[in-house]
């Protein structure tokens, strides 16, 4: 929210409506008969990320993400890793006016997965491929069809299935890591204070980070257990990502200059 003085306060926690996963409004299982003529729109862009300033991350992508975005953890007790995309509420600084992404920047897998997603069927453990039935991404007579003339999954649908499989496996690993991190006592609440143009200050809160001193004081047995699990590189990726707050400040200043023009 914007205050009456020169300060702006923003938070990383942004919840999707109606308990839907972030970005999704109406995910439905792909069906060869019901969706025989449906297709994915060509180059629909990243406009669906416009109102979001943080997205979930999977563990395995954190070493890449740390070169482009600050990595934080959700304050809700789940310690979900997130990439910070913006410093003001409902603003993604990496989304350009033409709905393309900032050039030469890694795009988190959660974003690249859209509009596909896995859904667990109520009657069992089976996962089914779903797509968000959003008019902005679905084409009723387009060329990028989900099924061929014989009702078999197209190459597009097959690739989406494989990507969602990989994403789901990585997400399961992330849950284990996040649970251990949440219970470790290493996380602390943090507020970032960013100075921007016009002698204004952005107070960004609603996230947690790893306290470096607490990590240094971590019990040897626990530390060795985390090393055995292969988690140490991801802890350090988070710590290294702190340098990217400066990049967010730079991008915000660019946007503020355009808004003032």
Give the model's pLDDT for residue 150: 92
Q: Rounded to an integer, what distance in angstroms lies between the CA atom of residue 32 and that of residue 17?
A: 29
Confirm if 147 and 129 have CB atoms less than 8 A apart.
Answer: no
The tens digit of pLDDT for each residue in 2-36 reads 333 345 556 665 544 457 899 999 999 999 999 99
- List C-alpha distances in Å: 101 to 50, 63, 113, 254: 11, 20, 15, 15
Could you tell me which of 82, 91, 138 has the C-alpha nearest to residue 111? 82
∠ Cα 245 251 255 (to 5°): 140
| Angle (deg, nearest 10), helices 232-240 and 220-229 | 100
pTM, rounded to two decimals: 0.90
Give the model's pLDDT for residue 142: 86
Instruction: Work out the number of other CB atoms within 10 angstroms of the CB of residue 58.
Output: 22
Which tokens go with 107? 């795009």
Residue segments in the chain with a per-residue pLDDT below the cut of 70 = 1-18, 120-125
Give the residue carrying structure tokens 């019901």: 34
Give the model's pLDDT for residue 6: 44
The tens digit of pLDDT for each residue in 155-185 reads 999 999 999 999 999 999 999 999 999 999 9
């Amino acid at each position: 929210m914007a205050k009456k003085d020169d300060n702006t306060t923003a938070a990383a926690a942004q919840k999707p409506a109606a308990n839907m996963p972030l970005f999704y409004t109406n995910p439905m299982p792909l069906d060869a008969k019901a969706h025989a003529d449906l297709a994915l729109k060509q180059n629909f862009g990243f406009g669906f990320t416009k109102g979001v300033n943080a997205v979930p991350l999977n563990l395995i992508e954190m070493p890449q993400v740390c070169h482009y975005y600050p990595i934080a953890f959700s304050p809700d007790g789940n310690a979900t890793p997130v990439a910070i995309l913006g410093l003001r509420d409902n603003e993604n600084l990496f989304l350009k006016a033409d709905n393309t992404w900032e050039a030469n920047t890694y795009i988190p897998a959660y974003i690249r997965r859209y509009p596909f997603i896995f859904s667990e069927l109520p009657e069992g453990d089976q996962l089914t491929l779903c797509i968000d039935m959003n008019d902005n991404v679905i084409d009723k007579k387009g060329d990028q069809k989900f099924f061929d003339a014989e009702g078999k999954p197209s190459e597009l649908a097959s690739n989406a299935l494989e990507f969602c499989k990989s994403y789901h496996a990585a997400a399961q690993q992330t849950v284990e890591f996040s649970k251990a991190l949440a219970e470790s006592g290493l996380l602390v609440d943090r507020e970032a204070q960013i100075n921007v143009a016009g002698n204004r200050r952005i107070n960004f809160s609603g996230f947690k980070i790893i306290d470096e001193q607490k990590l240094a004081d971590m019990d040897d047995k626990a530390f060795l257990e985390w090393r055995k699990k292969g988690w140490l590189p991801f802890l350090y990726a988070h710590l290294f990502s702190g340098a990217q707050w400066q990049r967010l400040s730079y991008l915000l200043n660019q946007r503020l200059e355009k808004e003032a023009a």
